[in-house]
Amino acid sequence: MATARYLSGIQPSGLLHLGNYFGAIRNHIAHQDNALYFIADYHALTSTRDPAVLRANVHDVALTYLALGLDPERATLFRQSDVPEVTELTWLLMTTTGMGLLERAHSYKDKVARGISPTMGLFSYPVLMAADILAYDSDVVPVGKDQVQHLEMTRDMAASFNAIYGEVFKLPKFILGTPEPVPGIDGEKMSKSYDNTLPIFAQGKALKKLVMSIKTDSTPMEDPKDPNTCNVFKLYSLFADAPALAEMKANYAGGNYGYGHAKLALLEQIKAHFADAHARRAELMQTPELVEEVLAAGAERARAKAREVLDRARAACGLDPA
Ligand code: ADP
Ligand code: TRP
């Protein structure tokens, strides 16, 4: 049986953080064979308006993936905008997608509620995302929980198109890295847009300062503490093995163990977990042209597949010579 094709995208809209890592990237690194991972720069245009910042962010996402162990021989890593076929596919999908479906999107409604004046790009964001997925006949899309609705919409859009034109698109499944969103230092969902992140590649004093500022309750040092409601413990449990976790639980239950102690233990776990990746990243930073070569080679492979699917969709609609 052919290997299932994994595909996912990540927006280059700032430094990648532990929420991105445990929610999505860790699964991307775990499922590499026959996989496609891309940097969603077309999507980032809905929020990033500075070309120099966008270019730098795209490069940084590529560097992050390679440092974390993405092997460009096994997986295809590319820039979304290097495959313009997805924008044509977006149009085809738009003609069969109901406005009502898009009007129900949480991410769109949340942004409007936060006072962002919406563009057509922001409104149609989920259609571009569906095209990203359908263009490569993807089987499995590893994402964080906040993207689940977009995946359901993708399946709806594929089904509507197929109902009219026949079995053109494969309906993808998704997998989650963590059952719930990873909390940020303020206890809300960790997100680049909330300024509450622990960046994957934060180091030294800057990292320590962030970890020490994680929000906790005011239970006195001597008293027992509840691990289940504690942000430090939630983050610690993403890194620690079973014995370390059991020890931390016992410390919380026993009292005379402060949140400061737990934060220092978390800090050590973070440092140890990313030590190798830090070293690889430093090495890759010496050869930026290598990173660009990886993206160019990835684009070529991705584009060939997208062309095939787009031609299939065009023919189904009658956009080919009689
Ligand atoms: P952000 O909210 O920081 O802008 P993105 O929307 O770019 O993050 O998300 C990239 C990937 O990381 C998506 O698959 C998303 O679901 C996942 N992700 C983002 N934040 C979290 C989080 N706090 N917990 C789990 N997964 C997350
Ligand atoms: N919308 C996703 C996010 O913000 C990024 C993304 C774009 C994506 N296209 C995709 C994720 C296709 C999975 C598949 O995280």
Tens of pLDDT along 276-310? 999 999 999 999 999 999 999 999 999 999 999 99
Residue of 198, 214, 295, 194 lying closest to 258 (CA atoms): 214
Tell me how far the alpha carbon of residue 222 lies from the centroid of ligand 2, in angstroms. 45
Do 78 and 302 form a contact (C-beta atoms < 8 A)? yes
Distance in angstroms (rounded) separating the CA atoms of residues 79 and 57? 12
Identify the helix (H) or strand (E) that includes residue 143: strand 140-143
User: Cβ of 95: how many Cβ atoms within 10 Å?
Assistant: 9
pLDDT at 1 over 70: no
Same fold, 6-182+288-317 and 202-273: no
Distance in angstroms (rounded) separating the CA atoms of residues 290 and 219? 51
pLDDT at 248 over 90: yes
Break the chain into its structural domains and give their ranges: 6-182+288-317, 202-273
- 55: helix, coil or strand? helix
What is the per-residue pLDDT across 3-34, written as a single tens digit (0 to 9) for each?
A: 899 999 999 999 999 999 999 999 999 999 99
For ligand 1, what atom is nearest to the CA of residue 183? 23
Q: Does the domain formed by 202-273 have CATH 3.30.470.20?
A: no
Annotated catalytic residue within 109, 111, 170, 205: 111
Q: Which CATH number fits domain 6-182+288-317: 3.30.565.10, 3.50.50.100, 3.40.50.620, 3.40.120.10?
A: 3.40.50.620
What are the φ/ψ torsions at residue 316 (nearest 5 degrees)?
A: -60, -35
Tell me how far the alpha carbon of residue 151 lies from the centroid of ligand 2, in angstroms. 9
